[in-house]
Amino acid sequence: MYEVCEGVWCLVGNGLSNQTFVRGPEGIIAIDTGESVEEMRSALDHLRRVTTEPVVGVTLTRLDEPGDAVRVAELEGLFRAGLSTQ
């Protein structure tokens, strides 16, 4: 996990794509989620080493994996919090 600048982290080499995390006013926004649940779980483990802020949003830069946002939401417990993944 590299800190690109304050509040921006990028995990490189965790699969075919990088996962990026940006601190927003209400929490962390995940940019791209990897190719599998295992990749995202690994990325979240790395993220937790630098911040405990909740993941409050997901942005995908590709549309080949429509379940990606749901996968992050499930891992972070956003469904239990009553937040939408739409």
| Helical residues (DSSP H) of the chain, grouped into ranges | 37-48, 68-76
**How does DSSP classify residue 36?**
S
* Phi then psi dihedrals of residue 69, to 5 deg: -65, -40
Residue 48 lies in a domain: yes
Residue 83 lies in a domain: no
Residue 86 lies in a domain: no
**86 residues of the chain, pLDDT tens digit each:** 999 999 999 999 887 789 999 999 999 999 987 777 788 889 999 999 999 999 998 887 765 555 666 666 676 665 554 444 44
Residue 60 lies in a domain: yes
pLDDT at 83: 47
Global pTM value: 0.74
What is the number of domains present in the chain? Answer: 1
Domain of residue 21: give its range: 2-76
pLDDT at 71: 67
